Structure formats: C-alpha cells, structure tokens
Amino acid sequence: MGEGMRIAWDLSHLEFSIEDEYYFSKLMELIKSSGLELLVSENFEKTLQADVAVFNYPEESFSEREVSLISDFIKKGGRAIFLAYYKNEDRVAEHINEVSTNFGIEFQYNDVRDHKNNAGEPFLILTSRIHFPGLKIGRIVLPCTCTLKLSQNAKPLVETEATATIKAPVFGYVKHGNGVIICGGTCVFWDDYSLEKYENAKFSLALLKNKL
C-alpha cells in the first residue's frame, strides 16, 4: 500500500463526514497532499470498492449481509477502519461490535483518563505505546477514548500508559485473509483539534497506508 491508494470515507451509516470543514478539513488536506485518492461515499457497496474503507463514528447498525460483505472485502486485501468514542456515545461502539466481534475485537463501553500523561485534561490521554511494525511513532493524543478487549487473534496497535485509569489497548487490529481490520476507541484523534498535535498526523497516515 502507498501512494495512489483509494480511501473511501463511508457515510452510509451516518458517520461524521470528512467534508465537514470544522472538524476534518486538515485531515482531508493531509490525505490529498499525501498522494492518496479520497472518495466520500454514501453507498456502502461503493465504499467496499476502494482499497481502504473508513467507518468514522457509524450511528446506524450493520446488517448481517453488510458484515459478510466487509469480511469478504478484508479477505480479498481490503483495509477496514472502525472508529468509535467513549461511553458508547450514540451506541456507536455497539454498532461497530456487530462487525468487530466477528474478528475478535470488542469495544468496551467505558472511558479512559490519565491524570499524569495528558494534553491538558485527563480525558485527553497521551501515550507512546504504539506498535506499528517497522515504524517509530512518538507520543499521540487520544481524546475521549474507550478501550478494546482483544482475542488471541487480535494484536494491540496502541495501548494506554501505565498511569491511565485503565491499562488496556485502545487501538487493535486483526489480519484476515489478505487484508486487515483496524479498530480504535476514539474517532477524534485526527480531527482539526488533534491532528497537528504530537505525532497524530504521522499516526493517521500510517493507519491509512502502512503495512501491518
């Protein structure tokens, strides 16, 4: 994966739109300037025709048929990214679990605070426990995140520091066939507030295109 990849940002499940200039203008600019092709898709089937499918805060449930199509998409080499928020806000974590638990990742309906390692407030946790193979990433800020419960098939991608109220994975992934599913407990680590802080931009691009 690399330049020329097609990134589909899904809207078919009432996700936050990357075209929202208040929240995601910097991310959209970063993606386009990195040589990646961006498609904003209101059609679920079209989303799964890209190389990477992003489901950023889906507020609607996934049907059994959609789960099956996502599984096929990943198996054939696709990358599916599912991002939630803390406390199961708007039942988003619950909706993603309809998909992710089939691969061994379960979103917890909790929230994490860190009173020592944070970006000014305990809910803006900082961590350097990032496990991208072959890629060194420093600290990132993860606002309003929940944790993940991972099966033996799943691997942690980002974990909280020991100083956090809950020591656990907050991003994880599972390889499935030729592709991968990536899950994260927060969807606002790459919004306009967070993207340019610490190494969030580097982490965001790695999520989209780096090999796992």
Return the CATH number at 85.
3.40.50.880
Q: What pLDDT digit, counting tens, does each position of 36-66 carry?
A: 999 999 999 999 999 999 999 999 999 999 9
Q: What is the DSSP secondary-structure string of 50-69?
A: SSEEEEES--S---HHHHHH
Q: Report the alpha-carbon angle 8-205-4, nearest 5.
A: 55
Q: Report the alpha-carbon angle 182-135-49, nearest 5.
A: 35
- Residue 21's SS3 state is helix
Q: What pLDDT digit, counting tens, does each position of 118-155 carry?
A: 999 999 999 999 999 999 999 999 999 999 999 999 99
Per-residue model confidence (pLDDT) at position 141: 98
Residue 103 lies in a domain: yes
Q: What pLDDT digit, counting tens, does each position of 13-39 carry?
A: 978 888 887 789 999 999 999 999 999
Which residues fall within 8 angstroms of residue 137, CB to CB, at 6 or more apart?
A: 130, 199, 202, 203, 206
Q: Report the alpha-carbon angle 67-70-76, nearest 5.
A: 145
Residue 140 lies in a domain: yes
Q: Which of 148, 157, 139 is nearest to 202 (CA)?
A: 139
Count how many domains the chain has: 1
**What is the maximal distance between C-alpha atoms in the chain?**
44
Q: Which of 89, 77, 120, 95 is nearest to 10 (CA)?
A: 95
Per-residue model confidence (pLDDT) at position 3: 60
Q: What pLDDT digit, counting tens, does each position of 139-198 carry?
A: 999 999 999 999 999 999 999 999 999 999 999 999 999 999 999 999 999 999 999 999
Residue 1 lies in a domain: no
Distances (CA, A) of 65 to 61, 72, 98, 149: 12, 11, 11, 24
Q: What pLDDT digit, counting tens, does each position of 70-107 carry?
A: 999 999 999 999 999 999 999 999 999 999 999 999 99
Residue 67 contacts residue 97 (beta carbons within 8 Å)? no
Per-residue model confidence (pLDDT) at position 167: 97
Residue 29 lies in a domain: yes
Q: Which of 35, 14, 34 is nearest to 187 (CA)?
A: 14
Q: Note down the domain range covering 145.
A: 6-209
Residue 177 lies in a domain: yes
